[in-house]
Amino acid sequence: MNMHRRFSRSLVLLGFSISLLARAQGPPQSGGDFSSNPHPSVLPSNVILVKGAWSSASDSVTPLPEGGRVANNAYSNQYFGLTYSLSQDWTEKYSGPPPSDSGYYVLAQIRSADTFMGTSRGSILIAAQDLFFTLTPAGNALELINYDKESLNRDYKVEQPPTLVTIANHSFVRFDYGSPVAELHWHVLATQIRCHMVQFVFTSRDTKLVESLVEEMGKMTLPAEAGPISGRGGGEVPVCIKDYARDENVLERVDPIFAERRFNPVPVRIIIDKQGKVKHIHFLSAFPDQAKAIADALSQWRFRRCLRDGEPVEVETGIMFGRAPRPATLRSTNAATE
C-alpha cells in the first residue's frame, strides 16, 4: 500500500516537473501565434472581414444609394427610384467598392456575359456622385459633366460635347468621347436624382453597340424629379438641400466626441423629419467608433423646420465630419446649359 502511494506521488511529481519544463521551454501551444488544434475552423475565402472606414446607416429599412441590385435582367435602385432593364447578354460579375469619402458610388458594373455572341464586347458602369461631397465645384449634374469635358486630356477626343437629351421622358446630359489610340468609345449619360449625379457610362470599341445600349435606356423608369439640374428630391422622398445644417437652421447642436484621433473625412447624409429631428443617418465612409459618436451627437440635434408652400417637409442634407471640407476651386467654360 505504502509502495503504491509512493509510486503515485512520484508520478504526480514527475507530471508536475514535465509541465514546468514545458512552460520554461516556450509559450503555450494555443492562443496567440501558436495553434495545435488538429481540426481547427477555417476562415472563409474572398471575404473582407477587416474593414476600414465603410458605409453604414442608422437603420436597415431606409433605402440607401448603394443598395441597388442586379437581378432578373434588371438593375433596380429603390433609393434613386430607378429601374434599368438589361438584355440577357449582360451581367454583373463583380460588385463595386463601398462609397468613397468624397461621395462617389459604383452602383453596378455590367459587362457582356461569357455567353455573349456579338462581335464586340462592352461594359456598362452605373455610378453616382453625391453633389454634397464632390471634390469639384459643380452644383449639379450638368456642371459636373461639363467639368468632365473640360478636363479631358489629350489622350481622348470629344465625339459629342455635353448635350441635353431626353431619355425615358426625362432630361439627361449626354457626353461622348473616345480614345483614338485605344479605339474605345465612351458614351456618358447623366442625370440628377436626390442631389446625386447618376451616371451611365457605356464603353466599347463598337459605336453601334454603344448606341444600341443608349437606345435601350428608353425602357428605364425614373422618378419625376430626374433631370441634370432638377433632381432635388421632393414628392415621395425628402427634398435635398446642400448645407442645410448651417448655423441659422440648427437650433441645438452637440459635437461628436471621438475616442480616437483619426484624420479621414466622414461624409454623412441625414434625413431630418418634419419636426426638425434627425430621422435617418447614412455614413458614407466611417469607422464604427466614428459612426457611433456621430449618431450619438446627431440624435441630440434640432433643426429649424423646413417649409415648402407653408407646409413642413422632410429634408435630406449632408454634413462632413472629421476632416474639414475641401474648398472647390475650379470653374468651367463653354458649358452646356439647361
Partner 1 sequence: MKTIKLASALAFLMALFFPGMAFAQTDPGVRSNTGVNAGQPYASVSANANDLAFYQAGFAQFNEHQTVTGDNPGLGPRFNLDSCGACHSQPAPGGTSPAAGVFPNVGPNPQSQVIAKGVVIGSTNTIPFFVQPNGPVREARFPFFFDRFGNPNPNAPNGGVEDLFTVSGRADAVSCNLQQPSFNAAGATRNMIFRIPTPVFGAGLIENIDDSTLLANQAAQAVFNRVGISGTFNHNGNDGTISRFGWKAQNKSLMIFAGEAYNVEMGISNELFTQDRPLPGEDQLGSGLPANCLNLAGVGYPEDITHSGGTSASTVTSDTALFSVFMKFLDQPTPSTTSPGGATSIANGRRLFSAVGCAICHTPSLTTQASNLTSDLSKATANLFSDIEIHHMGVGLADNVSQGGAGGDQFRTAPLWGLGQRIFFLHDGRTTDLLAAIEAHQSSGSEATAVEEFFDLLSPSQKQDLLNFLRSL
Footprint of partner 1 on residues 180-239 (CB under 8 A)?
181-184, 186, 188, 199, 201, 203-205
The residue among 9 and 157 lying less far from partner 1, judged by its C-beta, is 157
Instruction: List the one residue from 65, 265, 276, 318 that touches partner 1 (CB under 8 A).
Output: 265
Q: What is the dihedral of CA 158, 163, 168, 170, to 10 degrees?
A: 140
CA count, 13 A, side-chain hemisphere, 109: 7
How far apart CA 66 and CA 239 sit, in angstroms, is: 19
The verdict on 264 binding partner 1 (CB under 8 A) reads yes
Report, in Å, the least distance between residue 65 CB and partner 1: 14
Q: Binding segment for partner 1 among 72-80, 232-240, 257-265, 273-281 (CB under 8 A)?
A: 257-265
CB 270 within 8 A of CB 317: yes
Measured CA distances, 278 to 136, 242, 316, 317 (Å): 28, 16, 10, 10
**Interface pattern 62-81 for partner 1 (x via CB under 8 A):** --------------------
Q: Give the single-character DSSP code of 156.
A: -
Nearest alpha-carbon partner for 328 in 113, 134, 78, 159: 134
Q: Out of 262, 277, 279, 292, which residue is the one contacting partner 1 (CB under 8 A)?
A: 262
Q: What does DSSP assign to residue 201?
A: E
Check binding of 258 to partner 1 (CB under 8 A).
no
Backbone angles phi, psi at 270, to 5 degrees: -125, 155
> Binding pattern to partner 1, positions 128-167, x when CB under 8 A?
------xxx----------xx-xxxx-xx-----------
Q: Which of 17, 235, 330, 338 binds partner 1 (CB under 8 A)?
A: 330
Cell of 113: 456575359
Asked whether position 333 contacts partner 1 by CB under 8 A, the answer is no
Q: Applying CB under 8 A, what is the total number of residues that bind partner 1?
A: 75
Pairing of β 82-85 and β 90-91: unpaired
Q: Which stretch binds partner 1 (CB under 8 A): 19-27, 164-172, 212-220, 304-312?
A: 19-27
Q: Which of 97, 52, 64 is nearest to 282 (CA)?
A: 64
Q: Does 96 bind partner 1 (CB under 8 A)?
A: yes
Instruction: Choose, by CB under 8 A, the member of 11, 14, 34, 224 that binds partner 1.
Output: 34
Of 88, 85, 143, whose CA–CA distance to 116 is shortest? 88
Is residue 100 within the footprint of partner 1 (CB under 8 A)?
yes
- Return the residue of 121, 277, 302, 305 that touches partner 1, per CB under 8 A: 121
